[in-house]
Structure 1
Amino acid sequence: MAITLLVAFLIFSIINILFYIGYFSFSAAKSQNTTATNIPVSVIICAKNEAENLKQFIPNILNQEYSNFEVILINDASSDDTFEVMENFRDIDPRVKLVNVENNEAFWGKKKYALTLGIKKASNPYLLFTDADCVPESNLWIQKMVINFIDEKSIVLGYGGYFKQKLSFLNKLIRFETMLTAIQYFSYSKLGIPYMGVGRNLAYTSAEFYNQNGFATHLHLKSGDDDLFVNQAATKFNTAICFDKDAITRSVPKSDYKSWIQQKRRHITTAKYYKFNHKLLLGTFFLSQLVFWILFIGLLALQFYWPIVLGVFILRLIIQYIVFWKSAKKLDELDLLWAIPVLEFFLILIQIGIFSSNLFSKPTNWK
């Protein structure tokens, strides 16, 4: 039995290490030097009950150092002062255009319906998306994202991180999960297998949106306006990645475990609609992580071949740290490095809980 467990541990360790070696495609990547552009851009922000966040963050959008853009603000049937705040911005800046989704329309497609109305409102062919609780890291965000629309690229994947909070384990866990997800979708895109993006920082052309019939194939789902659209539309030929620090956006993270887990439950429901090869890659990576930790702890506790087990663990840790260190430098998340094994272990436990919960009940809507 002991030798069987050791062999299984070695097999799953090798599989997991191979994934991390594949992630070097992003961690070792260099930013592409591209010429500045002035293509017409529509920044699209959909908001539901986000009055205070809009007041705080929209000025950062309007102050971007880019001369050829408009801002489409979409009120998705809010019950607070969201639309009034949007009207105030429109009154002081002619670049702001509004879309107001009434309560009697909200059932049509939830956020995707509201976004579709916003896209139709846009005057420009290049669309840049973020959320109402997001702020760009710099006033060069638009410029850095849209310069990637070259060589027939119609989709640009950016990084949407979260604000840092000192002395908060939950904050580090949220940011670790976000960084790991970004490492994966950036790496697979570099390898010619783009599979998702995040709506906090995503760009595509209106032509690509209409070529895909918008969100029609998954309009009935509560989530997926970002990742499912990219999963459907992205190819190795039409997708670019942007990880320039000036192109990063930051969002307000959840402040309690219950809210964050509910958010992740909603996001994970879309993964089963990914293309088969994407599901296979993501599922195999998670399984290799899970089995690695189970067998590592079990073999170590039983003291079965512990020098070999510990040696494999250290080898994996070194490779993992190199990937995370190089990636964290790009994404400005270096403060997470010291706790990677702990964060990874707790994230796996939470993911198991989320998968189990989703089997028995459906998560709620986006707001």
Structure 2
Amino acid sequence: MIILDIAIYTLIVVVLIQAFFYLHIFGKFAFRNSKKAVKNPTTPVSVIICAKNEAENLKTFLPSVIQQDYKNFEVVLINDASHDDTLEVMESFSKVNQHIKIVNVEPVETFWGNKKYPLTLGIKAAKHNVLLFIDADCKPVSKYWIKDMVSNFNSQTSIVLGYGAYSKVKNSFLNKLIRFETLHTAISYLSLAKLGMPYMGVGRNLAYTKAQFFKVNGFMKHMHIRSGDDDLFVNEAATNSNTRICVSTDSFTTSLPKTSFKSWFKQKRRHVSTAKHYKLNHKITLAFFYTSSFLFWVLSITLLTFWHFPIYVIALIVIRFIITFVTYGFSAKKLNEKDLILFLPFLEIFLIISQMAIFINNIISKPKHWK
């Protein structure tokens, strides 16, 4: 009985911590509007796409980048030692578009499997200071993608964090789980950026200046880590004063989601493995949130199972649910993911279980990286 008494008091503390995160931290994004950006930017831009064995995806998605409604931009295509027809596809596009520049990277044993090496060569080859990144299996949702992302740059801003969504698949719980994890991650990094503590971005939709890249010596501090060309760079280079977020609907990109739990699980293992290299305050903040989320479910289920102070437990669960539904609801509306809210409790439970499994697996063995 004493243990259950301690559990109910712990649950109260956990709910208060969760309320702080959802209302104060995530609320920075959910309930507040972003700063207005320049309406019609004219800054020249280099769009950078690094591709390894992405011939078919380039055929499908590259036209949506080339056809952007923006006056002054080039597309830097990086072929990272592909063994399919990636280079040939790039060359076919360059023959009919003079704004395409190809960087062909030969295999280098020292940097095998490390995306940062070809990216560095592509960045050096880019002729413009503003760099906009997108993956080969992604497409902008609008022809105004470049305009909206670039409009957030000014004399102080050198990093712009965008939102990279995943395509919707009907009647697929896995697709909802993937999109919910993506939504939650976006809410987290966009909110903390607005709070003045930017800690990551996603390479599917990210922009920064060439000057900022060389200011921190590019990827040198984490070149030995195969993943993290996006989040580890932002974690190192982003500050309260040089970072902005862009969440206008025209600025989104969308990617093909994984179609099996196994492939998604492997992908997330790679992504999660970089988090241990974040700055200490970022790791503490994220660990605090995930631990409190895990404890909320464990304590709630335990106390309801033993029917210990049921009225108080149910009240705490309802309060926490209201807070999460409201916060996620406003955020999902901004990011065009409203259909996920109905399944929120189930998706959250599955995500927590998946994250625990990923954490344990990463301790047991190292994940594979850039294909």
TM-score interval, normalised by the smaller of the two chains: over 0.9
- Spell out, residue by residue over 1:196-251, the C-alpha distance to the aligned partner (whole angstroms, 9 max, x if none): 00000000000000001000000011111000000000000000000000000000
What is aligned with 2:285?
281
CA contact (8 A) 1:109 1:220 kept: no
SS at match of 2:134: strand
What amino acid does structure 1 have at the position aligned with 2:10? A
CA contact (8 A) 2:50 2:119 kept: yes
What is aligned with 1:131?
135
Alignment gaps of 5+ in structure 1: none
SS at match of 2:76: strand
What amino acid does structure 2 have at the position aligned with 1:8? T
Give 1:203-282 correspondences, 5 Å limit. Answer: 203-282=207-286
- Spell out, residue by residue over 1:286-325, the C-alpha distance to the aligned partner (whole angstroms, 9 max, x if none): 0000000000000011100111111111111111111111
SS at match of 1:79: coil
SS at match of 1:194: coil
Match of 1:177 among 178, 181, 203: 181
Q: d(CA) in 2 for partners of 1:198 and 1:358? A: 21
Number of paired residues? 367
Pair 1:17 & 2:12 matched: no
Match of 2:102 among 98, 104, 113: 98
Give 1:1-367 correspondences, 5 Å limit. Answer: 1=2, 2-21=4-23, 22-35=25-38, 36-104=40-108, 107=111, 110-367=114-371
CA contact (8 A) 1:47 1:75 kept: yes
CA contact (8 A) 1:65 1:140 kept: yes
Give the direction of change, closer, same or farther, for the CA distance of 1:51–1:317 in structure 2 (3 Å limit).
Answer: same
SS at match of 2:111: coil
- Spell out, residue by residue over 1:237-270, the C-alpha distance to the aligned partner (whole angstroms, 9 max, x if none): 0000000000000000110011101000001111
Q: d(CA) in 2 for partners of 1:92 and 1:206? A: 27
Deviation at 1:34, TM superposition (A): 2.5
Deviation at 1:79, TM superposition (A): 1.1
Q: d(CA) in 2 for partners of 1:105 and 1:81? A: 22
Q: d(CA) in 1 for partners of 2:369 and 2:122? A: 20
What amino acid does structure 1 have at the position aligned with 2:30? S
SS at match of 1:182: helix
CA contact (8 A) 1:31 1:244 kept: no
Give the direction of change, closer, same or farther, for the CA distance of 1:105–1:127 in structure 2 (3 Å limit).
Answer: farther
Q: d(CA) in 1 for partners of 2:34 and 2:213? A: 26
Q: d(CA) in 2 for partners of 1:89 and 1:106? A: 31
Q: d(CA) in 1 for partners of 2:221 and 2:108? A: 23
What amino acid does structure 2 have at the position aligned with 1:30? N
- Spell out, residue by residue over 1:116-158, the C-alpha distance to the aligned partner (whole angstroms, 9 max, x if none): 0000010000000010000101000000000100241000000
Q: d(CA) in 1 for partners of 2:110 and 2:205? A: 24
User: What TM-score results when the alignment is normalised by the length of structure 2?
Assistant: 0.97
- Spell out, residue by residue over 1:340-365, the C-alpha distance to the aligned partner (whole angstroms, 9 max, x if none): 00000000001000000011101112
What amino acid does structure 1 have at the position aligned with 2:9? V
Instruction: Report the aligned-residue RMSD.
Output: 1.0
Q: d(CA) in 2 for partners of 1:352 and 1:164? A: 25
Deviation at 1:105, TM superposition (A): 5.7
SS at match of 1:131: coil
Deviation at 1:60, TM superposition (A): 0.2
What amino acid does structure 2 have at the position aligned with 1:352? M
- Spell out, residue by residue over 1:38-94, the C-alpha distance to the aligned partner (whole angstroms, 9 max, x if none): 101000000111111100000000110001000000011111111100001111100
